[in-house]
A = this chain, B = another copy of it.
Amino acid sequence: MLKASLALLKRDIGLSWSRGGGPILAVGFYLTLMAMIPLSLGPETQVLARVAPGLTWLSLALASLLSLERLFERDYEDGLFDILRGGKLPLEAIALIKCLAQWIGTGLILALLTPMVMIILGAPVEAAGLSLVAAVLGSLSFALIGGVGASLSLGSRKGGVLIALLVLPFYVPPVIFGAGLMQAYLTGAPITQALGLLGAYSLFALALCPIATGAALRSALN
């Protein structure tokens, strides 16, 4: 079981890191998005600083969306699931491993960059640590929830937009908590509540999403 899990994790992380994927791609994408924000909103520092946390979180959510489409669909069409089901891992474990690999390959890297981006957009340097923790938690929940969406839309060949539609509503709470957390930090309000909510949400996602994804995969595969 452990060997199989590790093999799958290794394969999926390898796929997202290989051939210039992973870090460069994530960094480039995030930077591009971040550069577009002031350009579209106008460069007034005050407004920017005001909306920076929210927009950073929105970008994090959107970046997590972009690679969801290939989370299961390609493997599904290539017939990989026929092999995966021939092993000992239940579909729930397969779902969890694939989501984690997806997260490590993209979301986590983005989360690590978040403090820097917030600072560029005008957040104070002291907020870095907090925003890092929040972004790591948030991106994990994005990846897990994204897995549910990706598995639900499997085989519909509608991909991207459909998944986005399914998934975005569930991205709202982390975005609110995350952005609110930064807001609270900046105004000196207490932050434990928002951080607690964010953590709880991620834990919930960790517990429930693999089950939902596994069920959706099972129904898609039959």
Q: Within the complex, which residue of B36, B66, B158, B164 is in contact with A58, where a contact is CB–CB below 8 Å?
A: B36
A102 vs B24: C-alpha distance when bound (angstroms): 28
Return A147 CB to nearest CB of chain B, in Å.
15
Q: Report the minimal beta-carbon distance from A194 to chain B, rounded to whole angstroms.
A: 13
- A14-69 residues with Cβ-Cβ distance < 8 A to B are 19-21, 25-26, 28-29, 32-33, 35-37, 39-42, 47, 50-51, 54-55, 57-58, 61-63, 65-67, 69
Most buried by B among A20, A70, A162: A162
- Which residues of B lie under 8 Å from residue A158 when comparing CB positions? 19-21, 25
List the number of copies, as a whole number: 2
Known: A25-B165, A40-B54. A70 touches B159 (CB 8 A): yes
Interface residue from B28, B40, B61, B165 paired with A176 (Cβ < 8 Å)? B40
Q: Number of A residues whose C-beta is below 8 Å from B? A: 50
Q: Is the interface of A mostly helix, strand, loop or mixed?
A: helix
In the complex, A168 has a CB within 8 A of chain B: yes
Is the C-beta of A175 less than 8 angstroms from some C-beta in chain B?
yes
A165 touches which one: B19, B32, B74, B157 (CB < 8 A)? B32
CB distance from A128 to the nearest CB of B (A): 19
22 contacts across the A-B interface (CB closer than 8 A): A19-B158, A26-B161, A28-B165, A29-B161, A29-B168, A36-B61, A36-B168, A36-B171, A36-B172, A36-B175, A39-B172, A40-B176, A40-B179, A41-B51, A41-B179, A42-B54, A42-B183, A47-B50, A66-B160, A67-B161, A69-B160, A74-B157
